[in-house]
């Protein structure tokens, strides 16, 4: 793995740990439009960008996103609505991308499973609104990924 790839993977792991600690995720938004980029890995695929800290999001609010503002999303809403919805829409998650718009492009359900694994490692349980429990959410993720 190159140093660049190692840094990207470390930023991704740091993203997972930080959002579990704070239970919030940050995006850049202007009205109902969220900051997106085209995928460097997959043709005709959009990546919605999210950050673990407000500072990371605001640092990228320049050029075409100069009029965008950082907005927090609860971790439960991010997992239930964003990750599940993005999976259905065949979008990717850009986790803690840098100002150069480089970073890991993650499958939303894989990222959600990584978050659940970190929650379990920390002994934390989120109160989901659309699932009976964190365990049910995890089971649904696994079933969806196995069905691919």
Instruction: Give the number of domains in the chain.
Output: 1
Whole-model pTM: value is 0.93
Q: pLDDT (tens digit, 0 to 9) for every residue of the chain, 148 residues total?
A: 566 777 889 999 999 999 999 999 999 999 989 999 999 888 999 999 999 999 999 999 999 999 999 999 999 999 999 999 999 999 999 999 988 888 999 999 999 999 999 999 999 999 999 999 999 999 999 999 999 8
Residue 105's domain comprises 3-146
d(Cα 37, Cα 102) in Å, to the nearest integer? 10
CA 99 to chain centre: 17
Instruction: List the one residue out of 63, 88, 64, 83 whose CA is nearest residue 73.
Output: 83
């Amino acid at each position: 793995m190159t140093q660049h790839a190692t840094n990207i993977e470390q930023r991704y792991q740091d993203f997972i740990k930080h959002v579990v600690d704070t239970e919030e995720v940050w995006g850049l938004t202007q009205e109902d439009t969220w900051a997106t980029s085209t995928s460097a890995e997959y043709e005709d695929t959009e990546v919605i960008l999210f950050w673990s800290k407000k500072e990371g999001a605001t640092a990228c609010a320049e050029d075409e996103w100069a009029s965008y503002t950082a907005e927090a999303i609860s971790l439960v809403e991010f997992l239930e609505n964003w990750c599940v919805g993005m999976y259905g829409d065949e979008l990717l998650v850009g986790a803690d991308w840098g100002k150069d718009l480089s970073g890991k492009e993650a499958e939303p359900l894989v990222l959600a499973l990584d978050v659940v694994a970190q929650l379990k490692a920390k002994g934390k349980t989120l109160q989901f609104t659309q699932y009976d429990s964190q365990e049910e959410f995890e089971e649904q993720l696994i079933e969806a990924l196995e069905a691919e």
